[in-house]
Amino acid sequence: MNFPKAETFPQSIMRERSMGPNPLKLCEELLALADIPVGSVVLDLGSGAGLTSALMARECGFIVYAADLWSDPSDNMRFLEGCGLTNRQVVPLKADATALPFAHGFFDAVVSVDSYNYFGRDPAYLGTHLLPFVKRGGELLFAIPGMVRDCHDDLPACLLASWTPEQLEFMHDIGWWRENIGQTDGVEILDMREMSCTREAWADWVACDNEYAAGDRAAVEAGALDYLNTIAVRLRRR
């Protein structure tokens, strides 16, 4: 695939600030499924170290609220300023996904890359904790780490080379997510598919020089990507 937006960021920045499979490529492929207008107010939910927020603000022209529980907003703001962005374009903040500090109907859209599976597995989460903050007609886009087919009852050795069964409980297949999201009133599933850039995004990640990437490398080298995918989800609030 071609990633003209992601490729405006140096590889060194991606490797320094990634927290999993290349979030820039995942974000760009995810955004291509929708047509979010320039100037839209977008929640980057689980924004990590700011890469996806920078891409959406600088390359797409969105006003982005970068909400993450574990990253440092001050560090993210310094990074964003280094990308030529201001606090009128991106607002980094520390926030729990189950207690978002916004007015109802505040966002035109929500984007979540490589994080929704941590809080969204509770089928009550979407309707109770996220959907109220999206305008009617607004879209929600998730890139969710997943499985080609759920295999928790017989986990392949390649997956266990890097992850415990408990960690793998965060990963599910498209059917599982369709059933999970389908329990929420007031939301329409517009699209749900395997993403094309999964292997490329993982290759970028395991090439990073940090302990977390190194920890995932054994599984990937043993063939884990025959069992893992990334699931793109596109929803609309009714």
pLDDT in the model for residue 169: 98
* pLDDT tens-place string over residues 36-73: 999 999 999 999 999 999 999 999 999 999 999 999 99
- 3 state DSSP class of 21: coil
Tokens of 91: 């607002």
Looking at residue 198, the DSSP 8-state letter turns out to be: H
Tokens of 11: 């590889």
pLDDT in the model for residue 63: 98
Tokens of 58: 């600088």
The four Cα atoms 218, 222, 226, 229 give a dihedral, to 10 degrees, of 0
**Cβ(144)–Cβ(119) below 8 Å:** no
**Cβ(199)–Cβ(142) below 8 Å:** no
pLDDT in the model for residue 128: 98
* Cross-strand partners of 81: none
What's the CA gap between 73 and 60, in Å, rounded? 21
List the one residue out of 155, 162, 141 whose CA is nearest residue 230: 141
When the pLDDT of each residue in the chain is averaged and rounded to a whole number, the result is: 98
pLDDT in the model for residue 155: 98
pLDDT in the model for residue 139: 98
105 φ/ψ sector (left φ>0, alpha ψ -120 to 50, else beta): left
Question: What b/e string do you get for 177-209 counting C-beta neighbours within 10 Å, with b at 16 or more?
Answer: beebbeebeebeeeebeebebbebbbebbbebe
Percent of the chain with pLDDT over 90: 100
Only one residue has tokens 């890097």, namely 162
pLDDT in the model for residue 194: 98
pLDDT in the model for residue 1: 82
pTM over 0.85: yes
Tokens of 110: 């929500």
Averages of pLDDT over runs of 10 residues in the chain (238 residues) are 96 96 98 97 98 98 98 98 98 98 98 98 98 98 98 98 98 98 98 98 96 97 98 98
Element housing 141 (H / E)? strand 134-147
What's the CA gap between 163 and 192, in Å, rounded? 26
Domains of the chain: 6-237 (3.40.50.150)
